[in-house]
Amino acid sequence: MRRTKIVAAMLSLVFVFMLFPGLRVNADASGTCGDNLNWELVSDTLTISYTGTSGSGDMADYTGTVHAPWYDQKDSIKTIVVDNGVTSIGDWAFAGFSVLESVTLPDSVSSIGDTSFGYCSKLSSIVLPNNLTLIDEYAFYECSSLTSIVFPSTLTTIGERAFEYCSGLTEIDIPDSVTTLDEQAFAQCTSLKSATLSNQLTELPGTFYGCSQLTTVTIPDSVTTLNGTFYYCTSLKNITIPDSVTSIGAAFESCTSLESITIPDSVTSIGAHAFFCCTSLTGITIPNSVTSIGDRAFFGCTSLTNVTMTQRLYDDIDPTMVFEGSSSTFNLIPSGYCGDPSVNGGKDVTWIFDDTTGTLTISGTGDMFDLDTISTDPWSAIYKSFKTIVINDGVTSIGNEAFYYCTNLTNITIPDSVQDIGVYAFRDCTSLTDVAMSKVLYDNLVQNNKLGSVFYGITLPSIHFSYTVNYKSNGNGTITGTTTQSFGTDQIELTITPDTGYEIDKVTWSDGTNPDVELTATNGKYTMPDSEAGTVTITASFKLIEYNISFVNEDGTVLQSSSVPYGDTPVCTITPTKAADEQYTYTFSGWTPAIVPVTGDATYTAVFTETAKPTTTVATTPAVTTPAPGTYYVQSIEEKDGAIVITIKRTENDDQTYELVQSIETDGKQLSVGDQIELTSGSAIITIKKDFVSTLTPGTHTMKVTFKDGGSITLEYTVKEPEKAAAQAVQATGEATAITAFVGAGLIIMACGLTIITVRKRREEA
């Protein structure tokens, strides 16, 4: 009796679970964990679910001491499933889950909190949600089994050390949506070999610290500062620093494989320890733009034997401290300071000489020195080598005797910032024939009777006046210049971009006084005319591009050809024709491709609709335009002793057509084989019996034949009055099989007796 009760109880339980198959049992634990969130632990799977119908689904935040409610089970949880509706993963939510292998996150999650998956050393699989914006600091710290990760295009921030010590990662691709990459985000990822970075980042603070296998990385053009970025990247052999970078901190310390690096002219400072112990670095050129180098920047660079830098910079640093431990030979570029000695020791204005071109460049802000008042001439050894002197905007005066006896100087351009030129500044510059300066400066020299003393000892050079350039277009494109300042006879580069469908018509120069000048480019540059006007205007005019449009007949004969402006819709003024043949007449029905507004050269071909000619000839095997492969079509329709015989073929495997017939109906009613019709092989031959034909009312009737492969074909036929000829006029429409879903057959013309039988094709989805 007891055994019977036990069995009954067990059967009852089985019955309950049969009725409720989704019923969960053996829940280890459960509870709440945030806004409208519940958690449940079943075996080794933790599920976080959203219980609300609207509102927040944020998970609660925890700490290293205030643990999540499931923390005590962390060493048994292998899988975490977060259901849709949860909007955040809380701080420290799953930190230290030592056996966690897999995490499933829904797209509703937008943030992953501080240390949320930190120290999950066996986590190997996680797909980040498509709406994720934040990965907070330490979020995946020491997830050493994580081998790959895909960042969504919605992500904006990766926090400090978020993936530090993820030693299984081999490559990363950070999307352009990321604008913040905090300190050491991927530090100590010792298997990381390549990285693609967001073009929105401006800093890479310690990003790849200790990534000892990193060999391939491109620094985005948006980055301005490198600091600790590649510290201890011991496999990195070379890298390109973009022109956007202005400051290099201790970015390449202990990059022991680094063999070469190019520092762009945009860099103004190199910090302490920047290339500390780069033991494979053999040579480096420090650009003229660099004004400071920190202590031990090249300490321990034991292979560094060749350093190119300016004399000015060399004098400003302590070379023994900066290059300690190396045995470098210094190639010093002639350079120094040439400002007013009473202002910042003259360092506000600098000079540098390129002996390969003979160009002296003067930069900075403020007045130059008066050579006749200083004790040491800064370019006493090289002044006769000056062929070109470039004075940059910002210099406010040229001092007395500044370029005295520079006999190889042929021309000079003086910027508008220069307000005065000292006496004898260009004395005895016997090759100087061309000078460009502002009209204001020229008038000032004339008014103060200084013009002759400035150019003392030489014939007064040809003087051109500078002017400001404004740019203008006729509205169908844009024009900009490389500079808003120009001089007569100077050549400037212009960027001219037509709108879509337009091309450059002409470029004109105008100063409002002289006649307008049409400019032509030579090697991409435009020569500026002389003018005493302070401002000139360069105008770019654009015109529509015209494209070749042709209309051709079906046989390829060109009917009309012309040039049509971009955006216009072409029109053919000639109506195409096609001669009739024995079977058909042809009517023009349009063009292929369809005519659209012009965006390029195009050819349009005439399309014709064919109409069958009537005939009284009996044709039991009519000419048929072969349909596409796999298509059912009517081969022939005949009248035999009052019965109608229809032969249906298939363009592929026609020997199967008879076997594939599934049903035959007329006017929506199923026809009976034997009583009303006969079905025989030889393709599929359907005979509508004479007795059944006589029961049909005069007029049009429809027959549909359905095939076992999903294809079908529909026939329309006409039953005439009994007293009229026995032949029946029949129209047929055909359908492609499900294989091709397209009927390629044309019109089929047949006759039976003296009655015209027309077969036409019609598409019907299988």
pLDDT, tens digit (0-9, with 9 covering 90-100), for 505-546: 999 999 998 899 999 999 889 999 999 888 999 999 999 999
The verdict on whether omega for the bond into residue 593 sits within 30 degrees of 0, i.e. cis, is: yes
CA distance 130 to 154: 7
Both tokens of 372, joined, read 């006749």
Nearest Cα residue to 148 out of 168, 129, 164:
168
CA distance 468 to 493: 15
Nearest Cα residue to 195 out of 215, 165, 166:
215
Asked whether the predicted pLDDT for residue 18 surpasses 50, the reply is: no
Taking the complete model, does pTM exceed 0.85, yes or no? Answer: no
Asked whether the predicted pLDDT for residue 583 surpasses 50, the reply is: yes
Kindly report, residue by residue over 252-283, the tens digit of the pLDDT: 999 999 999 999 999 999 999 999 999 999 99
Residue pair 68/92 in contact by the 8 Å Cβ criterion: yes
Helix residue ranges, H only, 679-739:
690-693
Q: Which residue has the tokens 């009229």?
A: 724
Give the mean model confidence (pLDDT) for residues 455-467: 92
Give the mean model confidence (pLDDT) for residues 81-94: 97
What's residue 53's pLDDT? 87
Neighbours of 156 (CB within 10 A): 15
> What are the beta bridge partners of residue 330?
307
Q: Which residue has the tokens 């024709």?
A: 577
Q: What are the φ/ψ torsions at residue 344 (nearest 5 degrees)?
A: 55, 35
Half-sphere exposure in the Cβ direction for 344 (13 Å, CA): 12
Q: Which tops the pLDDT comparison, 717 or 470?
A: 470
Return mean pLDDT, the chain: 87
Pairing of strands 502-510, 535-544: antiparallel
CA distance to 33, 418, 600, 706, per residue, from 715 (Å): 69, 95, 46, 11
Please name the residues in contact with 727: beta carbons below 8 A apart, sequence gap of 6 or more: 639, 752, 753, 754, 755, 757
633 — pLDDT class (breaks 50, 70, 90): confident
Q: Which residue has the tokens 């060109």?
A: 558
CA distance to 438, 440, 489, per residue, from 435 (Å): 10, 14, 10
Residue pair 490/468 in contact by the 8 Å Cβ criterion: no
Q: From edge to edge, which strands make up the β-sheet containing 477-481?
A: 477-481, 491-498, 525-527, 521-522
CA distance 601 to 590: 19
CA distance 225 to 202: 7
State what percent of residues in the chain have pLDDT above 90: 70
Neighbours of 215 (CB within 10 A): 16
What's residue 637's pLDDT? 82
Give the mean model confidence (pLDDT) for residues 21-49: 82
CA distance 689 to 671: 11
Q: What is the CA radius of gyration of the chain?
A: 44
Residue type, 693: V
What's residue 628's pLDDT? 52
CA distance 370 to 365: 16
Residue type, 691: D
Kindly report, residue by residue over 743-764, the tens digit of the pLDDT: 333 322 232 332 223 333 333 3
Kindly report, residue by residue over 105-118, the tens digit of the pLDDT: 999 999 999 999 99
What's residue 489's pLDDT? 82
Torsion angle of the four alpha carbons 492, 497, 503, 505, in this order, in degrees rounded to the nearest 10: -40
CA 217 to chain centre: 19
What's residue 699's pLDDT? 81
